[in-house]
Amino acid sequence: MELINLRVSAATTDSEKMQFIRFPWRVYKGDPYWVPPLIGDRKAMFDPKKNPSLEHMEVALFLASAFIKRADTTLTPDMPLASLQSEVVGTIAAIINHRHNEFHNEQVGFFGFFECLNDPQVATALLDTACEWVAGRGMTAIRGPMNLSTNDECGLLVDGFDSSPMVMMTYNPPFYPVLVEQAGFHKAMDLFAYFMDFGEARDLGQLPTKLTRVAEKVRKRGEIRLRPIDMKDFDREVGRFKEVYNQAWEKNWGFVPMTEAEMDHLAQQLKQAIDPVLIWIAEVAQGPEAGRVIGVGLTVPDANVVLKHMNGRVNPLTILKALYYQRRIKAARVIALGVVEEWRGRGVDALLYYETARAALVQGLSAWRRLLDFGEQCHDESRLADARWPCV
């Protein structure tokens, strides 16, 4: 494949933004593991009126386009380049997250929504464009991919290409990490996913013996109690989750505190997909702090089983497909599980994991996956890349 007249330009019109959103369908055509995002969700993500994260972010979308000379293409010396019909060959978003830079005292930009054909020339052109855009706004480095932050899909999949991603997890062709490294990027951090399959027997005894033993000891001590989320008190429950989230995740790599608007937005999105029996809240059971929320476990059924068959569209036919495939969901994704610092090391997390697994098996779910953890061996591996310093 030979590319002629390769250029990268900003996607600013509605038509160009739709080209940006639709391009992955070309990259992943025929890939049995790819899960198409809902087009409406992608449009909302880039709409400042619908995505509160854009209140503290600057985001620019770019399209790479070129004329593709194929084996049966005949070009004449007098043929002007302008007459060649270009097509989209790649996309990238350049991102500045001001809250990240304030919280971490950095001047770093990000790239995301990186998709391209298997061509190093295209990848380098896209990544250079993002680098130049953030550098022009005072950033000294660029990191990614982030779609748009660590609270969304992030990282490049580098291992585990033999299965579909679960909800809110990343997926890409195996050649992406190679293209990114060839463009001058190096690893910034490893991200890991952990997978457990309980099989058709759905045997809780497959949990690690130590986890089960610790969970039982914590339960007998009676210092804490666990309860499922109260959907009738949803707004106040979200407030309790906010409180724990910003404490429990504060020291995680890449963490940025979510704003009230962001948390409310996420809660409303998840409300449509959650199963209340999979969301557990740990509270102090006795003493002066009785009732204080000290830990949370947020697990959702793997909606990607449904999304995979909707092809990005919501219409009467895909709704019928969704109703059918919803019954075939057999796995769950642990999106977040955390304990406030002063209660760590006391088995609260073990009890949250145990009760989540028990509830999932009762619901007929036989497997679960957790992302993201940093720096340990795992089942699937993703990677965040850092650019050259300085970013020029």
Identify the pLDDT of residue 143: 95
Say if CB 294 and CB 225 are below 8 A apart.
no
Identify the pLDDT of residue 77: 62
Per-position DSSP letters for 260-300, written without gaps between them: HHHHHHHHHHHHTT--GGGEEEEEE-SSTTTT-EEEEEEEE
Alpha-carbon distance of 165 to 151, in angstroms, equals 16
Q: Dump strand ranges (E) for the chain.
A: 2-10, 57-69, 87-97, 108-116, 141-144, 146-147, 153-154, 156-159, 186-197, 224-228, 279-284, 293-301, 331-339, 367-374, 380-386
Beta-strand pair 156-159/380-386: antiparallel
Q: Is the pLDDT of residue 243 over 90?
A: no
Q: Is the pLDDT of residue 247 over 90?
A: no
Say if CB 146 and CB 152 are below 8 A apart.
yes
Burial class (CB in 10 A: 0-12, 13-18, 19+), 246: middle
73: tokens are: 């293409």
Identify the pLDDT of residue 273: 78
pLDDT tier, 185 (very low <50, low <70, confident <90, very high otherwise): very high
Backbone φ/ψ region at 202: left (φ over 0), alpha (ψ -120 to 50), beta:
left
Higher pLDDT, residue 381 or 40: 40
Share of the chain above pLDDT 90, in %: 66
Identify the pLDDT of residue 298: 92
234-248 vs 260-271: helix crossing angle, rounded to 10: 120
Q: How high is the mean pLDDT of the chain? A: 89
Q: Is the pLDDT of residue 57 over 50?
A: yes
Q: What's the chain's Rg over C-alpha atoms?
A: 23
pLDDT tier, 377 (very low <50, low <70, confident <90, very high otherwise): very low
| Amino acid at the residue 63 | L
Q: Phi then psi for 249, rounded to 5 degrees?
A: -100, 0
Q: Is the pLDDT of residue 125 over 80?
A: yes
List the one residue out of 293, 319, 322 whose CA is nearest residue 306.
322
Alpha-carbon distance of 54 to 47, in angstroms, equals 8
Report the predicted TM-score, pTM, of the whole model to 2 decimal places.
0.90
CA distances from 147 to 19, 107, 238 (A): 17, 18, 23
Say if CB 167 and CB 131 are below 8 A apart.
no
Identify the pLDDT of residue 151: 86
Q: Tens digits of per-residue pLDDT, 28-37?
A: 999 999 999 9
Mean pLDDT of 133-152: 94
Sign of CA dihedral 203, 204, 205, 206: positive
Higher pLDDT, residue 67 or 210: 210
Alpha-carbon distance of 310 to 302, in angstroms, equals 14
Identify the pLDDT of residue 217: 95
Distance between start and end Cα atoms, the chain: 30
Q: Tens digits of per-residue pLDDT, 254-265?
A: 888 888 899 889
Q: Is the pLDDT of residue 140 over 50?
A: yes
Instruction: Return the exposure string of 30-63: e unless at least 16 CB atoms fall within 10 Å of the residue's CB, then b.
Output: eeeebbbbebeebeebbeeeebbbeebbebbbbb
Q: To the nearest 5 percent, what fractions of the chain are helix, strand and coil? A: 35, 30, 35
The torsion of the CA quartet 142, 148, 152, 154, rounded to 10 degrees, works out to -30
Identify the pLDDT of residue 363: 86
pLDDT tier, 382 (very low <50, low <70, confident <90, very high otherwise): low
pLDDT tier, 392 (very low <50, low <70, confident <90, very high otherwise): very low
pLDDT tier, 270 (very low <50, low <70, confident <90, very high otherwise): confident
Q: Is the pLDDT of residue 216 over 60?
A: yes
Q: Tens digits of per-residue pLDDT, 89-122?
A: 999 999 999 999 999 999 999 999 999 999 999 9
The position carrying tokens 């290409």 is 161
Alpha-carbon distance of 378 to 372, in angstroms, equals 10
5: tokens are: 């007249």
Identify the pLDDT of residue 378: 38
Count of Cβ atoms closer than 10 Å to residue 120 Cβ: 14
Q: Tens digits of per-residue pLDDT, 63-84?
A: 999 988 766 666 666 566 555 6
Alpha-carbon distance of 338 to 297, in angstroms, equals 7
Burial class (CB in 10 A: 0-12, 13-18, 19+), 390: exposed
